[in-house]
Amino acid sequence: MAQTDTSSYSAALKIVFGPKLIEELVTTCPLVTRFEKADMMTWEGRDTIEYSLHVGRNQGFAYGRERGPIAVAGAEEYVSFKVPLMTGWGRLNISGKVMKVSQSSKGAWKRALTTSYDGLKMAVTRDKNRILFGDGRGLLALIDGAGADTTTLTVDAPGGVAGAINGARFLQKGMLIGLSNATGTALTAVRTITGIAAAGTSVTLDQPVSALQAVDNGFIFRFPDPSALTLADSALFKEPMGLRGMIDDGTFVNNYFNVNRTAYPVMKAQVFSSVGSLNLDVMQQGFDTASALGETMPTELWAEFSTRRAYLALLVANRRYLSTGGANKHDGGFAGQAVTTDIEFGGVPFKVDRDCDYGTIFGTVWENAMRYENPAGEWVEDDGNLLRMVPGQDVFEAVWRMYDNYAIDRPNACFRLDGINTNVVVAHVL
């Protein structure tokens, strides 16, 4: 006997949609937001802005005996600090048909064109947040072990920082990547990522890689176009400078905007490596050395969530003494069991950002931070057209561009703690 149920009647049933488009992707970019508050400089002319840094005192002075020789003449020492504009591009492609059928709320939750514009800008901003924690090299990860004619690529060292945990944290499905040798001097392959392992230890590719293409400790970086098969066209060594390069002692960036940190140690930040178990004394050492050498105190601390938890673990004992009314607020800021707001160290805000290096704390001085932009970001419409029709197709394209860079000009007033023991929760952020 024939029966009527949802399966048999499905063709007659209406499709009912929810009331809104739900955003599932991460949209917060704390470090980008912070740099947007830093002093900004725009310029025209040459694509490099140059400062003179005072890096050495006149040492032509000494006490001596009566009628003895006076000191040999000395001189102040200066060096050029040169910040180049880096070049960034974004591009979207949309068919005329999609634009037409989505131009009103009758056909779509949002216009496809608006969604495409906003989506590209957010993708650029999310990647810039990662960049601003980096060192300008553009490294997303390193290859862990040689390939063997397989579409699975094992990765580690996220952002080029040693460590096996979640090597794929900065890699994304659909991303076009370049592979190079372990020195970054020879392009070995260009591939598209088709999937990310849940453990963050590997990615799948659209085509296999061989042992010659995927070498151990080889570099992984963004690539603009599969038809541009030269290393010079890649993002390798072409990204703006980030905190890891600014707040450094030469480990990652020894030539800091034309200043050799070995020759001029005054441009080194205070770096405490292999910290191990985090303790309050080493944090105070960071502040003390930065204050002694840079004449000012860091104004903010930045770390990833797991590192913040390591700091919170030091403050557990204070919970029993905290008033829930907030009158006796301690550094941990405990008002309950979970911490959801900014905490402090000695009154200095302790900021958290998902893109910060694992096991690292940056002590920053924002009065010494600068952003250089021309422009910060804009749709290209120099000819009066934002959308351009692809020749011979009912398809339109738009291009986003930005020329920018970032710097901290007194890195000796900052510090970095590395190698902090943490319990990282592997979760892939989209």
Q: Which residues of the chain have pLDDT under 70?
A: 1-25, 43, 104-111, 317-341
* Greatest Cα-to-Cα distance within the chain, rounded to the nearest angstrom: 125
Question: What pLDDT sits at residue 161?
Answer: 96
Question: What pLDDT sits at residue 327?
Answer: 43
Q: Are 308 and 345 in contact (CB under 8 A)?
A: no
Question: What pLDDT sits at residue 374?
Answer: 85
What residues does each domain of the chain span?
Answer: 137-238, 243-370+409-417
Q: CATH classification of 137-238 is 2.40.30, yes or no?
A: yes
